[in-house]
Structure 1
Amino acid sequence: MGCVRRRMTVRTNPPGATVSVDNQMIGTSPAASSFVYYGTREFRIEKDGYRTETIRRRFNPPWYQMPGIDFISETLWPGDLRDERIIDVELVPKTLEPTPDILQRADSLRTQSQTGMVTSPR
């Protein structure tokens, strides 16, 4: 009889990023996985040369998954119901700091540590 199919898909631009949901890897983008429970999910998207993105997204249940109605949609509904969630992520390239800036900051920290005066690196 009835059945509710839940699926989340993570798409990235550019594709090919490693996608984890709630600290479990689901694959390389575009990556899809089924889910059972609604609520807040944490997505972690990683790709070489791009900034790692951590996104928290709340999945609210649709009307047919509200208590009481969910019994009908899960067991008595004559067809399949589909709940597809799509998360699109635009990856941002990592910015490399120029070498002279890094060396200058390192010299500054070295001097501060030698004189006993240490401040925040930034």
Structure 2
Amino acid sequence: MMVRTNPPGALVSVDNQIIGTSPAASSFTFYGTREIRVERDGYRTETIRQRIDPPWYQYPPLDFITETLWPLEIRDERVIDVELVPKETAPVAAVVDRAQQLREQSRSGVVPAPPAVGAVAPSGPAVVLPPPQQLPPGGMPLP
């Protein structure tokens, strides 16, 4: 089995076993579903569940003939191509603005709802927390 990526040079693992950098090849004995994970800096990590079906000569009783009586070697080679997608990064100005908003809200005691995954600006209602409790020397709150 060979895993190729565009662009090449990504770290490839099959069933949680690192097989190398792409293009990477690994032998396999059993057919079935494989979990292929491809990672590269600056690109989104891809996890693919690839089903590998046996070829016609691996079904009984043909498998007996091809594995024991056939005089030549039969190789089953599979190629899996993965297109890597660049990571999306937020503009620096948006990150700085968001940090400034969070600083102002933390100073006033307002905690915003967590942003949606991949969102930069808050999207939900804010929650107002009570003022922080003063701790006595030693750090343990009084009952």
| TM norm structure 2 | 0.71
Is 1:97 paired with 2:64? no
Percent identity of paired positions between Structure 1 and Structure 2? 64
Question: What secondary structure sits across from 1:83 in the alignment?
Answer: coil
Is 1:59 paired with 2:59? no
User: Gaps (5+ residues) in structure 2?
Assistant: 117-143
RMSD between superposed Cα atoms in Å: 1.9
Partner of residue 39, structure 1? 32
Is 1:75 paired with 2:105? no
> What are the Cα deviations for residues 70-113 of structure 1, in whole angstroms up to 9, with x where unaligned?
12211111211121100011111122111222233344455279
Larger RCO (alpha carbons 8 Å, 6+ apart): 1
| TM norm structure 1 | 0.82
**Which of 95, 109, 120 is residue 114 of structure 2 equivalent to?**
120
Partner of residue 18, structure 1? 11
- Structure 1 96/83 Cα, relative in aligned 2: closer, same or farther at 3 Å? same
User: Gaps (5+ residues) in structure 1?
Assistant: 1-7
Answer 1 or 2: which has greater strand percent.
1
**Which of 74, 79, 91 is residue 86 of structure 1 equivalent to?**
79
Bigger Cα Rg: 2
Q: How many aligned residue pairs are there?
A: 115
